[in-house]
Amino acid sequence: MLEYWLWLTGRRGVGLRGLRALLEQFGTPEAVYCAAEQDYPQALRPEGRASLADKELAPARQILQQCYRKNIHVLTFQDAAYPNRLKNLDDAPLVLYYQGVFPDFDAEPVIAMVGTRKASAYGLLQAKRLGYELGRYGAIIVSGGAAGIDTMALRGAISSGTAPVAVFACGVDIDYPANNRSLFEDLRTHGCVISELPPGTPPLAEHFPPRNRILSGLALGSVVVEAPRKSGALITARHALEQGRDVFTLPGNLGNPTCEGNIQLLKEGAILISEGWDVLQEYTYLYPDLPLRQRPFGPMTLGPQETKDNLVVAETSSNPEKTDTKAVDKQENRAYIDVQEILPRVSADEAAVLRQLEGGKQPVDRMIDETQLPAGRVLSALTLLEVKGFVKRLPARYYELAKK
């Protein structure tokens, strides 16, 4: 049966959406294979029709032999273990190749972490810190495995004791970049490496943008740790938004070119974060036990170029349970800001959002409906208001006015 799946994914000139349509029409890859030429949709291009007429199974069988030799598993679109979040995409891969232990993506909070290969020291340390903090809550970290931010995010997750996942833009049997061979071996033993490309496929430039849709598609949200304006990490962010997923980013250093992408994302409505819990609190409605999952924050494994003075991982900074109750009581007794007083100091979009929040906390979707503004403008206004200290973000995508 697997050979028919691999035969189907090798058809050229049809496209993923076309292959999905064929699966829906015929039910199984074997039925697509056995169909006569006249049974295929008339809208197929000549190249696709010719490719479907090629019934040679030898290439598919050779791929399977490679998989058996290299302990590579094959997961198909119709397998029960195929992640539902990914399956819901129009361009979901029909086959996933993997080495390691394939996690239950639908049962756990999955967060993608991406960023530039040429990261600053600040970005590298923040990536490792966030990967570590998210891992302590049991989140599955998904990243690309490139040098820079990806590498540090995955190493931070490994330090937390969880099993992260790398999604390759080449075959899972190829260690790219080669300098990360030891990291990939750790993932194959204690995590997982995944690709939609068959073994032996080289890491060509055209493979990376499609790979990014898998990164964001597996995750509830994507964290852009540090990215210049033209970074491939922004492609992942765009995929996430198109897929209806959240995008998070750290506040970048103004004037630093490696952070220009972060600033742009904030302007476009990305959620501002400073620690791992800022991300996961958005999903407590899906995983109510998240605050109880956190394991004690122990020492994080540091690399040869890292020091404890540089790598700040506060043992209580991401723990929502350890709260200064006196400070909370004091905060609760404070009045909300006076909206009318600050309206002259904000933009028209920000003013519309503030007026909505005068009636109490509201979810983002309701504010979009009530203001009749495009979603991107509402999210951008909320981000700017949060930066200015006029609104406060709450779990489950709710916002309220800040207090004086």
Query: Tens digit of pLDDT for each residue in 342-393?
Result: 898 899 999 999 999 988 888 887 888 889 888 778 888 888 888 888 998 8
Taking only the tens place, the pLDDT of each residue in 160-192 is 999 999 999 999 999 999 999 999 999 999 899
- For residues 153 and 113, the answer to whether their CB atoms sit within 8 Å is yes
- For residues 187 and 76, the answer to whether their CB atoms sit within 8 Å is no
Separation CA 115–CA 224 (nearest Å): 6
Query: In the chain, how long is the greatest CA-to-CA distance?
Result: 75
CATH code for the domain defined by 110-293: 3.40.50.450
131: how many CB neighbours lie within 10 A of its CB?
33
Band the pLDDT of 304: cuts 50, 70, 90. very low
Closest CA to 277 of 297, 303, 253: 297
* Residue 271 backbone phi and psi in degrees, to 5: -85, 125
Mean pLDDT within 50-54: 93
- For residues 222 and 248, the answer to whether their CB atoms sit within 8 Å is yes
Q: Give the start-to-end residue ranges of the domains of the chain.
A: 1-69, 110-293, 325-401
Q: Is the pLDDT of residue 326 over 80?
A: no
Collapse the DSSP code of 380 into the 3-class scheme (helix H, G, I; strand E, B; otherwise coil) and give the result. helix
Burial letters 146-180, b for 16+ CB under 10 A, else e:
bebbbbbbbbbbbbbebbbbbbbbbbbbbbbbeeb
What percentage of residues in the chain have a pLDDT greater than 70? Answer: 89
Q: Which residue has the tokens 């002259």?
A: 344
Collapse the DSSP code of 400 into the 3-class scheme (helix H, G, I; strand E, B; otherwise coil) and give the result. strand
Query: Does 314 or 286 have the greater pLDDT score?
Result: 286
Separation CA 55–CA 59 (nearest Å): 10
Band the pLDDT of 289: cuts 50, 70, 90. confident
CATH code for the domain defined by 1-69: 1.10.150
Q: Give this prediction's pTM.
A: 0.76
The set of residues, in sequence order, having a beta carbon less than 8 Å from that of 352 and lying 6+ positions away, is 371, 373, 381
pLDDT of residue 49: 92
Q: Which CATH architecture has domain 325-401?
A: Orthogonal Bundle (1.10)
Taking only the tens place, the pLDDT of each residue in 226-263 is 999 888 899 999 999 999 899 999 987 777 889 999 99
pLDDT of residue 230: 86
